[in-house]
Amino acid sequence: MARPPAPEVVRPAAPPAGGVSGRSVLVSLLVSLRPEQWAPKNLIVFAALGFGLQLFDVTALARTVLAFVVFCALSGVVYVVNDVADREGDRRHPLKARRPIAAGELSPATAVTAAAIIAAGALTLAFWLGPRFGIVSAAYVALLAAYSIRLKHVVILDVMTLAVGFVLRAVAGAVVIDVEFSHWLLVCTILLALFLALSKRRHELVLLNDAAMDHRRILGEYSPYLLDQMIGVVTASTLIAYIFYTISPETQQKFHTQWLGLTIPFPLYGIFRYLYLVHRKEGGGSPTTMLMNDRPLLVCVAFWAAAVIVIIYHPAFRF
């Protein structure tokens, strides 16, 4: 009797050598740098300008703009390095598989070379702005490079590293204009960044389900329940830290106002809105995308910023 034919083995398709989108190498590199995420993630560089009472100082504003440019460039470098390190896992992700490096549109060698050139230029500008700012900028690159290579595979340290990256951005904004940055604001920054990082991990875990470990091994160390517990702790801590900051005698004395507490409803609504999007709308994979695409969240952030500026700078609110 004839032997039945062996079943066909379906192998995952290898990434195309030249890509499938027809994009040039330059365009693929630009996409890998993710310029759409530069502004939302680096606007915190301007925090020291506002809270340091230097918002209308032309020199301080110019230096902060240059600092913002430096961190936008360094953020792009970090994205490229991360995409090179994650290219195998990204190919098993329903969305990240479209990234140029994972899709084979941009070779790892070309990406790393371009990233090194951009990093060198950005750090040169950083040290020209000042030694302390240069050191903070270099520390940011080193930390996030360590994250891409190793720390993202260590449970809890992975999200803490991302949070510290935001703190370094905030510190950089302060040192570039030589102003003191409140310890309360640094605490709020790291807690809020932890909230966003944990929410992102939860989104990845829920989206990929059983295939989560194939994409990112560290996801096997988490569970939705564990992440929800962590998010709950960080959410409460963030709000408490911000409330204490606004009503502390130190803050009132610095800004000569007792009205900063009026801004408390904005972070309350913003965090609750974000949790609603994470749990009911399956968001959280990209905080930048959620912020830019969700109008209530965007309006909340804009109103908070406007309220803070008016209360801090307008004479009617000062004593």
Provide block-wise average pLDDT over 10 residues at a time, the chain (319 residues).
42 44 80 86 92 93 96 93 80 76 85 92 96 96 89 90 93 94 88 91 76 66 89 95 93 92 95 90 70 88 95 89
Cα gap 197→195, rounded to integer Å: 6
Residue pair 33/119 in contact by the 8 Å Cβ criterion: no
Cα gap 144→168, rounded to integer Å: 11
Q: What pLDDT does 2 receive?
A: 45
Cα gap 49→60, rounded to integer Å: 7
Q: Could you read off the pLDDT of 233-249 as tens digits, one per residue?
A: 999 999 999 999 999 99
Q: What pLDDT does 213 receive?
A: 58
Q: What pLDDT does 11 receive?
A: 40
Cα gap 48→172, rounded to integer Å: 9
Cα gap 259→253, rounded to integer Å: 12
Q: What pLDDT does 16 receive?
A: 45
Residue pair 37/43 in contact by the 8 Å Cβ criterion: no
84: its two tokens: 């090179």
Give 316's contacts (C-beta < 8 A, 6+ positions apart).
none
Q: What pLDDT does 19 receive?
A: 46
Q: Quick check: helix, strand or coil at residue 15?
A: coil
Q: What is the largest CA-CA distance in the chain?
A: 99
Residue 260's CB: how many other CB atoms inside 10 A? 21
Q: What pLDDT does 8 receive?
A: 41
